[in-house]
Amino acid sequence: MLFLSLTLLAALPLVPVWAVPMCSVRSQSTSVSSPTGSSTTPSPTASGSQAVSSSSSTSGGSNLIATSWYAGWETNTISSISWDKYSAVKYCFAVTTSDGNVSLADSNEADVASFVQAAHQHNTKAMVTIGGWTGSQYFSTNFGSAENRTNFVNTVLGLVTKYNLDGLDFDWEYPNRAGAPCNIISSSDSANYLSFLQELRFAKVLDYIEIMNYDVFGLWTSTAGPNSPLNDTCAPSADQQGSAVSAVKAWTAAGFPASQIALGVASYGHSYSVSTSEALPDGKTLALFPTFSKTVPQGDSSDTDAASTTECGVLVPGGFSGIWNFNGLINGNVLTSNGTVNTGYDYTYDECSQTPFIYDPKTQVYISYDNAQSFGVKGNYIKQAGLLGFAMWETASDSNDILLDAIRSGMGL
């Protein structure tokens, strides 16, 4: 059985999060169902999708799933993955090419075979993600005609055969919506996407989705805020930018079963340049939604400001992203080795969004991130809401499984 996941933009009102449908290839004797091909709003017709088919995330036979994405540009970290704690891990990224093929050249392709071998040694599914921000340029043309779709079906199935994969993850950013500046888009993208999936899978297109609940607040918003809020319905209306709770509510209201929804969680956070008067307006309590300077602070040690060439071949000046991976916070001594806040930092925990915030008064850097407490609460929410499980970006950004163990524990695994 070949597992297949797809990244779609779920542009529901006030729910700017991602949704990743998961499905698998079955025999041609099963009939084809046609859930909505739209990349904007989930249709109630999608609620007719079949029962979830997934490997267990525990030896005890639980049907809850535990998945993550592994960045291929990471080095010497495959052996450190806690494979037994995952049901599937996805290798990122194979990028689309103009001739209807895919390329892993920029993601240490030589490591894919050892990645798959390590996963299979631990009875974990090994998948490859196709696309991403820098790899979605040619999806539209690859899906744009019947001939091109058939060619791309053969391309990706060839990838499965070459590496003995258990599945594929399609991360198209975005169908008929601007992503990277040189991406090709068409008004027929969503319909063509569905046609491709039906040809690839020969069966019902959808098993389950993953709501990608992160990057809700960032440098593009007017204030700093939670990167990956569990809830925003309890926040002031101006600060309700989207959350897990509101996204799940929107999807289930559209007729999609909660038991076929996995929650996307983040092992990283965003930082902002925030003045002391904005961060600590009363001199002692850290504010939750402060305004910030557009000067982007450096994130962890992996955040560089070197000039780079975009996927479109354009040279762009350097600049920091401001991103702090969870292990980067520990390695940078912002957090202790067990993930608690180090001395010299202001800290608060927002009970509404279930988000920790840190402020460095010396550098005036304000950080929204996730910790063991917020991951544990999200795990409990997954269990209480009857969701399917979680998917974490990114595997190697955790530290000693602090986050992974917390969310698994919250789910009761």
Query: What are the boundaries of each domain within the chain?
Result: 2-266+372-411, 269-368
* pLDDT reading at 222 higher than 60: yes
Q: Which amino acid is at 181?
A: P
Distance CA 154, CA 134 (A): 22
List, for residues 120-157, the tens digit of each pLDDT value.
Answer: 999 999 999 999 989 999 999 999 999 999 999 999 99
User: How confident is residue 15, by pLDDT bands cut at 50, 70 and 90?
Assistant: very low
Give the least confident one: 38-47, 157-166, 263-272, 337-346: 38-47
27-36, 68-77, 178-187, 273-282: which range is least confident on average?
A: 27-36
Tell me the chain's radius of gyration from C-alpha atoms: 21
Surface-to-core class of residue 200, CB atoms within 10 Å of its CB (0-12 exposed, 13-18 middle, 19+ buried):
buried
For residue 50 the two structure tokens come to 């079949």
pLDDT bucket at 203, cuts 50 / 70 / 90: low
Q: Tally the residues of the chain.
A: 413
Task: Note the pLDDT of residue 58.
Answer: 42
Contacts of 183 (CB under 8 A, 6+ apart): 136, 137, 139, 140, 173, 174
The one-letter code for the residue type at 64 is: L
Mean pLDDT value of segment 210-220: 92
**CA–CA distance, 69 with 5 (Å, rounded to integer):** 12
pLDDT, the chain, mean: 86
Reply yes or no on whether the pLDDT at 46 is more than 60.
Answer: no
Q: Domain 2-266+372-411 belongs to what topology?
A: TIM Barrel (3.20.20)
Q: What is the pLDDT of residue 171?
A: 87
User: Where does the pLDDT of residue 178 fall: very low under 50, low under 70, confident under 90, or very high at 90 and above?
Assistant: confident
Q: Give the residue-averaged pLDDT of 332-353.
A: 98
Stretch 10-39: mean pLDDT: 34
Rounded to the nearest 5°, which phi and psi values hold at 262?
Answer: -110, 145
Taking residues 85-99, report their average pLDDT.
Answer: 96
Placement of tokens 């993955």 in the chain = 81
Report residue 3's pLDDT band, with 50, 70 and 90 as the boundaries.
confident
Confidence of residue 285 (pLDDT cuts 50, 70, 90): very high
The pTM of the full predicted model, rounded to 2 decimals, is 0.86
- Please name the helix (run of DSSP H) or strand (run of DSSP E) that holds residue 246, with its range, or none: helix 244-253
Higher pLDDT: 303 or 52? It is 303
Out of 14-28, 310-324, 366-380, give the one with best mean pLDDT: 366-380
pLDDT of residue 30: 28
Query: Is 320 a residue whose pLDDT tops 60?
Result: yes
Per the model's pLDDT, the better-predicted residue between 215 and 24 turns out to be 215
Q: In terms of pLDDT, which residue wins out, 318 or 358? A: 358
**Highest mean pLDDT out of 5-9, 60-64, 207-211, 263-267:** 263-267
Which residues are bridge partners to 192 per DSSP? none
The residue ranking higher by pLDDT, 388 or 61, is: 388
pLDDT at 2 over 90: no
The beta strand positions in 223-337, using DSSP E, are 261-266, 268-273, 308-309, 315-316, 323-325
Just give the CATH number of 269-368.
Answer: 3.10.50.10
Report residue 48 as tokens: 């007719």
Please give the pLDDT value at position 8.
47
Check residue 86 and give its pLDDT. 98
Lowest model confidence (mean pLDDT) among 16-20, 258-262, 295-299, 366-370? 16-20
132: left (phi > 0), else alpha (psi -120 to 50), else beta? Answer: left
Tell me what pLDDT residue 233 has: 92
**DSSP states of 59-74 as a string?**
TT----EEEEEEETT-
Per-residue pLDDT band for 42 (boundaries 50, 70, 90) equals very low
Q: Name the packing angle between helices 372-384 and 402-411 (round to 10°).
A: 30
pLDDT recorded at residue 12: 32
pLDDT range class, residue 44, cuts 50, 70, 90:
very low
Instruction: Read off the amino acid at residue 26.
Output: R
Of the ranges 49-58, 126-135, 321-330, 401-410, which one carries the lowest mean pLDDT score? 49-58
Does 31 have pLDDT greater than 50?
Answer: no
pLDDT for the residue numbered 186: 97
Q: Which of 12-16, 197-201, 254-258, 402-406 has the lowest mean pLDDT?
A: 12-16
**Nearest-5° angle of CA 302, CA 304, CA 310?**
110
Tokens of 2: 């070949």
